[in-house]
Structures are given as C-alpha cells and as structure tokens.
Structure 1
Amino acid sequence: MNNEVIVTAALTGAGDTAGRSEHVPVTPEQIATSAVDAANAGAAVVHIHVRNVETTQGSRDVALYREVMSRIRDSGVDVVVNLTAGMGGDLFISQEDPHKPVDGTDLVNGLERLPHVEELLPDICTMDCGSLNFGDGSQLYISTPDMLRAGARRIQELGVKPEMEIFDTGQLWFATKLIDEGLIDAPALFQLCMGIPYGAPADPGVLQAMVNMLPPDSNWASFSIGRNQLPWVAQSALLGGHVRVGLEDNLYLSKGVKATNAQLVERAVSIVEGMGSRIATPEQAREKLGLKRRA
C-alpha cells in the first residue's frame, strides 16, 4: 500500500461534458479558479486541458494555456502543473470512404502537439503512449511509435517530466521501450487509465497485471472513469500507486449529485486518509517525481 499519496485533479478534459454539468470549467479564469480550489482541497497536481470559450470544446490554443498558467501562478497557491499534450490525435473516419477524415478530426504530428509545452515549460506534460479505438463509432486516437519517439525526445530536451498515459498493456510495453532507449529520464512516471472504451477495463486484476509490468523504481498513478472513479482511489492506493480524480473523468460525487473538482479532491483525500495514508504536498510530490525546479 502507498503510505504517501499524490492526488491529481484532472480539471476539465476535452470531452463534450460542459453541457452536462455547470461545474465543468470552460474559460481560462474558470479553469484556473478550479485549479486553485482543487489545490486548496488537497491536490498536489492539477492536470489541465483548455477549451474554446465559444464552442466549449477542447482546444490546442497556446494563448488559452498561457492565461491559465498565468492565473494559477498569480494566485500564489503552490501546485504542480501538468499540461495535456494529447490534443491533436483525434481521427474520425467516414464509413463510406475510410481514407477521408470527417468532422471532429484534429490530427497533427507529435511535435505539433507541444507548442504550449515548449513555451510554458510546465512541471509535467502528458504523453499518450499508443493508438486506440476510442469508444463506439469511428473515432480513433492516433499516437504512433514514430510520433511518440519524436515527442519524447523533444520533451526530454525541454526538461519537462512526461507522464506516460497508458490505456492498455501494449502501450505499457512500448512505454518501457522508450525508457530502454533512453528517451525517458528516471524516475519514469506512468498514469494507468482504466475503463476507457476500448482500452484496459476497470478490473482490479487487470490493474494488478499492469502494475506487475512496470519498471522498478517508477512512479505510477491510476484512475477509472465514471462511477468507478472514487472506488478506484482506494484500489490504486492499495496497490502502491497515486490517484487521480476530477471532472475530466467523472461528473458526480454520488448518484444524481453533481460534483466540483474540489469536492472530488476532498472525497479522495478522505478515502486515502481513512486508509491510514498521508496526502503528499506539492513539494513532496516534486521530490518524489524528480521534477526540475523552475525559476
């Protein structure tokens, strides 16, 4: 069991959820405020996407990331910032002509997913470690070995810690190759993402198998989506990992009760402390994860 647990709050994501809950932050001000509230509730790390203010959909606009980062820093609240670098991998194909991308496609190469990381130099950025049939229908998430190697090399040059997002066992296999190839600096950081159709199911046995595949001395966290999010806090900590909650992955505190990010963090803190473990501070998280100190 993990006796000192890092809590990450995934604040908004890129899914079409803003219309389903009034608590999903959309504007840079709302996202930054939610980050501060989550940090004050006990999150050592905030994981950030940004959204187009007009459409409420996910965005890669560097200016939006810049404003969120500025507002968080100006708040004076200490928190580790983890920016997504997964946007730009969405491919929707036509049933009639599979060679033709259709509306919703946002597909760029690995380096074109990093301009905000290059400018803002967050503590952590994510790296989705493989391609995936993303739910039902004809949506794919594309992240090829060539894209990942190029992205990993650039992230390493920038001195940013990559959080390797793992959606299935094959992706974990490839992530370990990146370590072997010297493209990921120690200590490696993994996020085991469970229950996303159609990746690894939210099954404790599957999580245990993935944990068994992790390289020695790596840091890892795990989360599950929807109603499994809060039970997974205990599941992850029991197996020695850190935890993630937030509105990116789940909108509810309990059945029919919509949550805020701060409320989900508070519940995660309660679960972890109820198990007899401590909640890591941002400074403890930096030390544990081997993060570079910024000026």
Structure 2
Amino acid sequence: MNRKVIVTCALTGAGDTTGKSGHVPVTPDQIAADAIAAARAGASVVHIHVRDVETGQGSRDTALYREVVRQVAASDVDPVINLTAGMGGDLVIDPANPTVALEGTDLVSGLERLVHIEELRPEICTIDCGSLNFGEGSSLYVSTPDMLREGAARIRELGVKPEMEIFDTGNLWFANEMVAEGLIAAPPLYQLCMGIPYGAPVDAGLLQAMVNMLPEGAQWTSFAIGRNQMPWVAQSILLGGHVRVGLEDNLYLSKGVLATNAQLTERAITIVESMGASVATPDEAREILKLDKVA
C-alpha cells in the first residue's frame, strides 16, 4: 500500500463532454480557475488540456496553454503542472478507402506535438505510449515507436518529466523499452489508464499484472473512467500507486449528480485519508518524482 499519495486532477481533457456538463471548463480562464480550485482542495498535480474557445473541442494552441499556466503561476497555489502532449495523434479514416483521412483528423509529427512544451517547459508532460483503436467506428490514436523515441529524447533534453500514458500491456512493454534505452530519466513515471475503449479494461487483476511489469524504482498512477473513478482511487493506493481524478475522466460525483473538479479532488482525498494514507503536497510530489521546478 502507498502511504504518501500524489493526487492528480485532470481538469478537462479533449473529449466531447462540454455538452454533458456545464462544469467542464473550456476557456483558459475557466481551466485556470479549476486548476486553482483543485489545488486549493488538495491536488498535488493538475493535468491540463486546453479547448478551442468557440467550439469547445480540444486544441493544441500554445497561446491557450500559455494563458492557463500564467494564471495558475500567478495564484496563491503552486501545484505541479502537467501539460498533455498527446494532442495531434487523431486519425479518422474512411473504412471503404482507408488512405483518406476524414473530418476529425488531427495528425502531426511527434515533435510538433511538443511545441507548447518547448515554450512553457512544464514540470511534467504526457507521452501516449502506443497506437489504439479509439472506441467504435474508424477513429484511431496514432503514436508509433519512431514518434515516441524521438519525442521522449526531446522531452528529456528539455528537462521535463514524461508521464508515460499506458492504455494496454503492449504500451507498457514499449515504455519499458524506452526506460531500458535511457530515454526516460529516473524515476520513470507511468500512468496506467483503464477503461478507455478499446484499451485496458477496468480489472483489478489486470492492474496487478501491469504493476508487476513495472521496472524497479518506477513511480506510477492509475485511473479508471466513469463510475469506476473513485473505486480506482482505493485500488491504486492498495497496489502501491498514486491516483488521478477529474472531469477529463468522469463527470459525476454520484449517480445523477454532476461534479466539479474541486469536488472530485475532495472526494479522492477523503478516500486517501480514510485508508490511513496522506496526500502529498506539491513539493512532496516534486521530491517523490525528482522534478526540477522551472522558475
């Protein structure tokens, strides 16, 4: 069991959730306000996507990231900043003519996915460690070994800690290869993502198997989406990991009750403390993960 738990709040994601809950933040002001509120509620880390202000869809616009980070840095809290670098991997194909990319495609090189990381130098950024059939239909997330190695090398040069997003056991196999090749600085940080169709299902036995595959000294977090979010807080702690909650992965506090990011953070902290563990402060998280805070 983990006795000192890093709590990450994933604020908004890029999914089509803005029409399902008015609490999902869209504008930089809203995203920054939620980051600050989650940190005040006790989150150690805030995980940040940005959205197009007009459409509410996920965006790679560096200016939007810059404004969110500026507002959080100017606040009275100092959470660890974790920016996604996963945007730019979306491919939607015509199944009758798979060489044709359809509307919804946003596919760029591994290095182009790091433009905002190059400028803003967050303490952590994500790197999605494999390709995936993303739900039903003909949508895919594309992240090839060549893209990943090139991106990981550049992230290390920038002095940013990569959080390796693991959606299935093959992703974990490849992430371990990057660690063995010296592309990932110690301690490696893994995010074990459960319940995203069609990646790893929400299964405690599978989580244990994935934890057993981690290299010695690794730090890891796990989350599950939807109604499994809070049970997975306890599950992760029991197996020695950290936790993630937030509106990126789940919109509800309880059946029929829409949540805010601060409420989900508070609920997770209640679970952590009820299990006899304590929540890491941002500075304790920095020490656990061996982060170099950028001034």
Q: Shared topology, TM-score over 0.5?
A: yes
Q: Deviations over 1:71-92 (max 9, x none)?
A: 0011131100000000000000
Q: What residue number does 1:240 align with? A: 240
Q: What residue number does 1:30 align with? A: 30
Report the CA distance between 1:264 and its aligned residue. Answer: 0.2
Q: What residue number does 2:156 align with? A: 156
Matched residue SS, 2:81: strand
Q: Deviations over 1:234-258 (max 9, x none)?
A: 0000000000000000000000000
Q: What residue number does 1:142 align with? A: 142
Q: Deviations over 1:81-125 (max 9, x none)?
A: 000000000000002211100000000010000010000000000
Determine if the alignment matches structure 1 residue 82 to structure 2 residue 82.
yes
How does the TM-score come out when normalised to structure 2? 0.99
Q: Percent identity?
A: 72
Matched residue SS, 1:210: helix
Q: Deviations over 1:28-81 (max 9, x none)?
A: 000000000000111000000000000000000000000000000111311000
- Unaligned runs of 5+ residues in structure 2 are none
Determine if the alignment matches structure 1 residue 94 to structure 2 residue 63.
no
Matched residue SS, 1:35: helix
Matched residue SS, 2:222: strand
Q: What residue number does 1:192 align with? A: 192
Report the Cα distance in structure 2 between the residues aligned to 1:11 and 1:293, rounded to whole angstroms.
21
Give the total of aligned pairs: 295
Report the Cα distance in structure 2 between the residues aligned to 1:293 and 1:218, rounded to whole angstroms.
20
How does the TM-score come out when normalised to structure 1? 0.99
Matched residue SS, 2:94: coil
Report the CA distance between 1:233 and its aligned residue. Answer: 0.3
Q: What residue number does 1:277 align with? A: 277
Report the CA distance between 1:205 and its aligned residue. Answer: 0.2
Report the Cα distance in structure 1 between the residues aligned to 2:277 and 2:200, rounded to whole angstroms.
27
Equivalent position amino acid for 2:247 in 1: L
RMSD: 0.5
Report the Cα distance in structure 2 between the residues aligned to 1:294 and 1:141, rounded to whole angstroms.
31
* More displaced 10-residue stretch of structure 1: 48-57 or 69-78: 69-78
Report the Cα distance in structure 2 between the residues aligned to 1:27 and 1:216, rounded to whole angstroms.
40
Q: Deviations over 1:185-244 (max 9, x none)?
A: 100000000000000000000000000000000100000000000110000000000000
Determine if the alignment matches structure 1 residue 127 to structure 2 residue 127.
yes
Q: What residue number does 2:294 align with? A: 294
Alignment map for 1:241-256 (pairs within 5 Å): 241-256=241-256
Report the CA distance between 1:294 and its aligned residue. Answer: 1.7
